[in-house]
Copies of this chain bind each other. A is one copy, B any other.
Amino acid sequence: VPGILVINPNSNGEVTRGIAAALETLQGNGACRVEVVNLEGTPFGIESQRDVDSVALPLAERVRQESAAYDAFVIACFSDPGLFVSREATKNPVFGIAQSGMLAALALADRLGVISILATSIPRHWRYYRAIGVAGSVAGDEAIGASVAELSDQERVGALMMKTGRSLVGKAGADALVLGCAGMARYRDWLERELGVPVIDPTQAAVGLAQMTVAVRSAK
């Protein structure tokens, strides 16, 4: 059975569990198993460019080591750390969730809104939207503005995401939303129903693209 390895490049087990839960629904989706792992020795959260750059080589190294064991890889952090170096480390396809999430959303809509966690990530996101050629389709990228204390309070985070999503749809004119972080899929369905536009969990998008790619490549 072919397999996809989803790597969470932070050390926050709760995020890893959130990712794994979000991918449950895709497990049946394919003759390929999907496994989610933590990359050890990484920051608790990817919050700065330093955090992003610090996990690039460890990610690529993990991808290199597992290259024979898995048919595709997903890097589960919305900054797509180490995406291009990981692609050098294997002949198998490597998907970044930011890139995949934005592209999958564009298959359903024209102008994307991104719900980010931290305001400090937004300039980095925009640089990346430009790099991958989708900036012209981004209506807005707004942070939920949670304090560190609030981030562990799911209800509070949900309320802030709803408020941010409403602003992106109502004011910035977004016709689809992308969750700008791994591990937030629990809010997807609720946001989608309340706001009336597609809401994309980027990890699910990347795994979906990986499953399609693996299935197609396995056939022959």
Contacts and interface: CB of A to CB of B under 8 A. Distances in A.
B132 A133 contact: no
A127 interface: yes
A128 interface: yes
* Secondary structure class of chain A's binding surface, majority of residues: helix
A64 B130 CA distance: 28
Copies in the complex: 6
Contacts of A134: 133
Contacts of A211: 29-30, 208, 211-212
B212 A29 contact: yes
Interface string A177-217: 00000000000110000000010010011111101110111
Among A100, A111, A216: residue with most chain B CB under 10 A: A216
A95 interface: yes
Contact of A26 (B54, B175, B212): B212
A56 interface: yes
Nearest to A129: B131
A80 B108 CA distance: 13
B127 A131 contact: yes
A128 B93 CA distance: 21
B220 A212 contact: no
